């Protein structure tokens, strides 16, 4: 089931356009890398990679939770008429 949901995510999810924020991150990254020695650069790249992985996983998890909620709501709506109690006016119509 997770493979199917992952495929739905990959097919229907469109990332938000955040070009301004991405450009700011890239600019800050370049300035920071210019000031650091090689071992520190590697550490910065590891931090950025880990942060990107967390962001991707959260995005997928958010999509999956939203899909599950939508699925449960659709199920509830499809069974609403059968499970609900009739209003008193509906009962009076049945008795008439």
Domain span at residue 75 reads: 26-95
Is the full-model pTM beyond 0.85?
no
In a domain, 2, yes or no: no
- Could you tell me the two tokens for 70? 């939508």
Q: 69 in a domain, yes or no?
A: yes
- The alpha carbon of 65 is separated from its chain's Cα centroid by a whole number of angstroms, namely 7
8 Å CB contact between 32 and 44: yes
Q: 88 in a domain, yes or no?
A: yes
Greatest Cα pair distance in the chain: 88
Q: Would you say residue 5 lies in a domain? A: no
- Supply the DSSP string of 2-55, one letter for each residue: HHHHHHHHHHH------HHHHHHHHHHHHHHHHHS-HHHHHHHHHHHHHHHHHH
The reported pLDDT for the residue numbered 28 is: 93
- Is the residue at 77 inside a domain? yes
Which is nearest to 15 in space by CA: 68, 56, 65? 56
Number of domains in the chain: 1
pLDDT digits (tens, 9 = 90+) for 29-79: 999 989 999 999 999 999 999 999 999 999 999 988 999 999 999 988 888
Q: Does a structural domain hold residue 12?
A: no
User: Is residue 9, in this structure, part of any structural domain at all?
Assistant: no
């Amino acid at each position: 089931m997770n493979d199917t949901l992952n495929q739905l995510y990959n097919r229907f999810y469109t990332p938000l356009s955040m070009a301004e924020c991405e450009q700011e991150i890239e600019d800050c990254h370049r300035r920071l890398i210019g000031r650091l020695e090689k071992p520190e650069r590697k550490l910065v790249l590891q931090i950025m990679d880990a942060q990107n992985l967390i962001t991707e996983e959260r995005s997928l998890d958010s999509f999956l939770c939203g899909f599950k909620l939508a699925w449960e709501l659709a199920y509830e709506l499809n069974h609403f008429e059968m499970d609900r109690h009739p209003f008193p006016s509906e009962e009076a119509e049945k008795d008439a």
